[in-house]
Every structure is written in C-alpha cells, then in structure tokens.
Amino acid sequence: MSKEFDYDKVRHVTSVDQSDRKVPYNLRQSGPTKVEMLISTRVRKSPYWHLSMKAGCWRATVYNRIYHPRGYVKPEDGGAMVEYDAIVNHVTMWNVAVERQIQVKGPDAEKFVDYVITRDATKISPMRARYVILCNAYGGVLNDPILLRISEDEFWFSLSDSDIGMYLQGVNADGRFNVDINEIDVSPVQIQGPKSKALMKDLCGDQVDFDDMPFYGLASAKIGGRDVIISQSGFSGEAGYEIYLRDSTLYAEDMWNAVLDKGKAHNLMVIAPAHHRRIQAGILSWGQDLDQQHNPFQCNLGYQVSLSGKGEWKKKGDYVGKAALEKMGADLKAGKKPYKLQLVGLELGGKPIEEYAPDFWLISNEDGGDPVGFVTSPWYHPEKKQNIAMGYVPFDGTLNANGFPKGKLGTKYKIHLPDQYADNPGQPVDAVVVDIPFKESYNANTREVVKG
C-alpha cells in the first residue's frame, strides 16, 4: 500500500445520479497512480513512434489500440504549458497516427456513410471533410470522427478512440451495401498554430492554394516526395492542418523529416495533442467527455442530430439511432428531461491546473453537500488567469436559441479538487457555469452558429 494514499478509503460516489447509464463513470477518487506502462506487442506502434521518441516523447497512453505520445516537455522543464506556448504563438506538429483511417469505397459508399452518421452525407462534396458523429440504436455516441470525402465513391473515417472500424464492418456484414470497408495505411500528423499556413506553403509550394482553401477543405499533394491528403482542420481551435500520409509504414520518415526541415524557419515544435487548447475551444475528447452511453444532446452535440445544412435539421434519409434521437429532440422541446446530466462549461477557483486529471473530480451544489456531478476536462487558462473545465451537472432543461440543451449560465457549484490544487486543502473551490467555448476558435464550430 502506498504511504501517500490510503486505497482502503477509496469509495465510489453514489450521490451523482447516473441511473440512466448501464455502466456508470467510476467516481472513485484514487489520485495519480505511479505505475509504468508496459510496452509490448499486443498494442501497436504507429509508423511515427520512433520519430516521437527521437523528438523527446517521455510518456504515452493507448488510443485505438496504438501507443499515443502525450508529452514531450518534462515537468521540470515547464511541462505542458511550454507546449501550450508553442501552439498559441508559433507552430506545432503532433503524431496523431492513432487517428486511424477507415476507408469506405464502392458504388454504395455515400448511401452507407449516410446510414451510419447523423448528418446528411449527400451534402458533403468530394474533397471536403466534416466533423460527424455515429450513434447506436439507443442514441449513444459511438464515435465523433472527421469524415473525409476523397471522391464520389470513397470516404475515410478519421477516428477518435473506439473500435469503429470493426463496427462499420459489422453493420455491413450481410453485404447489403456494395462497399469495401477497411483500415488503410494512412497516418496523419497535425500542424497547428498561427504559423501553420506559412509552414504549409513552404512544404507544398504551388501544389495547394492555401489562401483559398476552405475550413475542412481537402487537397492532394506531395510532401517529402510522398503522397498526402491535406485537410484544413485540427483538434486545437488554432489555425491548422492535418497531413494524411499514404503508405505511411513505408514513408513515415520522408514526410516527418520534411516537416521538421521546413519547420525550423517557423520555430516548429513537436508536441503532444494540445489538451489545454482543445478544452478552451470546447472540443470533446471521446472516452473522457463522452462515450457510447451519452446521447448527443447532453454533450453539446445536439446540433449534429439530423443535420442537413447550416442551421437546418431536416435530414431525410434513415440512419442508425434516428428514431431514438429525434424522439429525444422532441421531448426536449416539449420541456421534458430525457437524461440526467448535462455537459457544461465551468470557471473555477484553485491553484493552476497544468496537468491531466487522474480522476473525474466531484462537483457539489453551491451548498457544498453530496456530489451531484463530475469534471471531465479541467485545465488552467493562462489568458483568463483562471481554471476552466468541462463537466457534467444535473440537467435543468435550459435550451439555447436553436433549441438545444446547454448549462444555465451563472449557476454556482463547488468542485472538490485534490489538495495540490485546492486553495485550502480539504475544502472545495467555487465554480460557475459559463459558455463554451472559453476561447474563440480560428474557425467557428457549427455548434456556435445561431439560426437566424
């Protein structure tokens, strides 16, 4: 038993109402656990793994059954906030090969994709991408990938964390759609930060017109002499691009080293995915801010349900989960509460949180009584000089101008932080519900567009 932590005293908190979940979030506050990750062959190494090690990666997690670099600057050298400075002021490259590409190709590709996503796939033009969600028959969010339409008959699902490749093959196990569904040897990196366009111009020359490239626009090019697809997109809220390298197992070094070489003039830094900056932007992390037991409405993705166009929710085609989701939408507009907890934005007190949270920290009402919710993604916002977080609290029925659920602004709570962050050890800190995002994104999310 650790001398610093008494695990005999760890208890799951039952006062948070998770009665609408089959498997509740584990709300035991067990703190950081000092164990070493086992690197073995049952988990894959991406084509960029050795390049991340060379760049100084010192820690990793597992994502899509692949080792995922999550830190380059060590705590004694300033840690994640040094990486934050790089992304908000310069330009960064991330190894995100864990975002596996599931190719759907064939005559029925559009028809199949339209059936498994909640938005209208027929409105996505070739060489365009979109943020999408896939739900199960109960309305739970299975994944929230970027969907790339490469051509009329070819799509790539650029996955967040979960086994969607196998799910998609299962949906078509009877062959009713004339498509082939396979993971392909395409591995992305993200180029994120205010100098990203300048770097991409240096990398691609006149191959791509970056000045006229729309948000989620796609382009084919060569980088380091190798074939890539480029998307103007990213997981940060900053200006940025994603480079999808074809035949990445063979050509990882060529593309990666080309970026490093051209990046020198722009103060490029290889960093981990910018957890701090994505929280500011209100970008969700699957498995952390949502999972397959969350419906889109309760995690700020209600705008994706039957989405047919900007400010329009009239998708005509059938899709997995449509009946359950449209019923939830109707219930919400009728003033009902079809679920228990709502994801909200929070500003909170305490000392600066500059590291990943090892637990879902507990939230109590303003009176500080038994917990009623929990924090999913906390971090320190340097510009606000304020801790911020996303977290789940009891849903009170508040809707935005488009009729989608949101937190009631100004509602006060208490958050039970670990002693290292608490203003006074053992005492919860004040928190208040605020709007998401906490910082404007370079490209506004569709969620933020109010129907006129």
Report pLDDT digits (tens) over 122-151: 999 999 999 999 999 999 999 999 999 999
Residues 6+ away with beta carbon under 8 Å from 397: 335, 337, 405
What residues contact 361, with CB distance under 8 A and at least 6 apart?
Answer: 29, 374, 375, 378, 415, 416, 417, 418
Kindly state the greatest CA–CA separation across the chain.
Answer: 63
At residue 452, the pLDDT reads 34
Task: Say if residue 224's pLDDT is above 60.
Answer: yes
Angle between helices 196-204 and 248-263 (to 10 degrees): 120
Q: What is the pLDDT of residue 255?
A: 98
Confidence (pTM):
0.96
The 10s digit of each residue's pLDDT in 350-362 is 999 999 999 999 9
Q: Which of 395, 394, 356, 396 is nearest to 376 (CA)?
A: 356
Once rounded to an integer, what is the mean pLDDT over residues 158-163? 94
Run of H or E including 255: helix 248-263
Q: Which residue has the tokens 């404007």?
A: 440
pLDDT at 228: 98
Helix 164-171 × helix 109-116 angle, to 10°? 110
Check whether 2 has a pLDDT greater than 60.
Answer: no
- Tens digit of pLDDT for each residue in 287-334? 999 999 999 999 999 999 999 998 899 999 999 999 999 999 999 999
Which residues are CB-neighbours of 244 under 8 A, at least 6 positions away?
101, 148, 156, 158, 186, 187, 188, 228, 229, 230, 231
Residues facing 180 on adjacent strands: 105
What pLDDT is attached to residue 5?
A: 78
Residue 451: pLDDT above 50?
no
Alpha helices in 2-135 (DSSP H): 49-54, 80-89, 109-116
For 267-294, how does the pLDDT look when each residue is reduced to its tens digit (9 = 90+)? 999 999 999 999 999 999 999 999 999 9
